[in-house]
Structure 1
């Protein structure tokens, strides 16, 4: 509990990918959550327009109350993953990406015991050094007087990606620049896939 309020736990992956068009994509793929397994995509276009793709009204309401969007679309978001390859499809978006070998940071994250990695005090303690990775925040506000913590447990670089949004090719992958503006959100400047446990409460 947090001041008498239950914490919501989301366990899965976050992928942050920039594109040559200037559109940035943040995939959340949650194997375990209060809503069951689901995936969502946050999109910020080059003109700053922010779009949420969520699979049903309930998850859309929760995410929209936690982050900030100009547009919310409720549509199925399907994710398939095998080996190093991931495919994400919805009515609006097709995204494919591949991950590379984990580097020193990924190895370091994997070495932290899960029980420690998901404790808010630990997440807050590693928040300062995490800021050395541009775009990364480990904790912050989540709307409605709530707080949010990101307990990262693994990281792999994204080596290749292609995305089509509403029929338009977004071009090859690029850094996530400028940082996305969904409220408190965290994705490194370099495209990557992060294994994460997120706490909201």
Structure 2
């Protein structure tokens, strides 16, 4: 039987006017326990993983593509009012807004179905049309398949982002799309309730 890893939590996608783009993962349940990590892409295109442990760094960097990996203290929390993330040189404080129209539609799908790999494989072409750049199924690194099951979605209304002590600029669309793997996050900054399933081929 193929090995399978399941990560259950939230993903926040944030873009800035400077071109810095960050994807913050907040995982309540995972093979590595509860943790947070950040995938960051600089305006130059340089892709950086900020991970809390070497174990997490090894798994994530074997599943996605990065130019640099750093193990740093990572803390991220959110509620329906705000998001706070601290990861080494990166600091994010964001205001979370209302559920999106797509989020309401996603909540209407029973969660056991919404996160099931067969369903996600079937709806992946539709997902790419609804949220350009985002897909629910694809091939990951290390000879793995990956499934993203999103069951809720909220807008991010504003954000203050600092990188190496410097203001990264106002909240902006995530453009160009991030290139860590087969899928980006939606162009509009959002926070998603998600279950990610990684399967060995």
Superposition TM-score, scaled by structure 2 size: 0.96
SS in 2 for 1:59: helix
Q: How does 1:117-128 map to 2 (within 5 A)?
A: 117-128=114-125
Task: Tell me the distance in 2 between the aligned counterparts of 1:175 and 1:81.
Answer: 20
Q: How does 1:39-58 map to 2 (within 5 A)?
A: 39-58=36-55
Question: Could you say which residue in structure 2 is the equivalent of 1:67?
Answer: 64
Q: Which stretch of structure 1 is more off in the superposition, 77-86 or 91-100?
A: 77-86
1:194 aligns with 2:196: no
Question: Could you say which residue in structure 2 is the equivalent of 1:19?
Answer: 16
Q: Does the 8 Å contact 1:26/1:42 carry over to 2?
A: yes
Question: Could you say which residue in structure 2 is the equivalent of 1:161?
Answer: 159
Q: Does the 8 Å contact 1:138/1:186 carry over to 2?
A: no
Where has structure 1 moved over 3 Å in runs of 4 or more?
none
- How many pairs does the alignment contain? 198
How far does the alpha carbon of each residue in 1:114-156 deviate from its partner, in whole angstroms, 9 at most, with x for none?
A: 1111111111122111111211111111112110000000001
How far does the alpha carbon of each residue in 1:39-98 deviate from its partner, in whole angstroms, 9 at most, with x for none?
A: 000110000111100000000000000011111010110112244111001221110111
Question: Could you say which residue in structure 2 is the equivalent of 1:152?
Answer: 150
Q: Which runs of 5+ in 1 are unaligned?
A: none
Q: Does the 8 Å contact 1:155/1:194 carry over to 2?
A: yes
SS in 1 for 2:62: helix
Superposition TM-score, scaled by structure 1 size: 0.96
Q: How does 1:126-145 map to 2 (within 5 A)?
A: 126-132=123-129, 133-145=131-143
Higher strand share: 2
Task: Tell me the distance in 2 between the aligned counterparts of 1:146 and 1:28.
Answer: 19
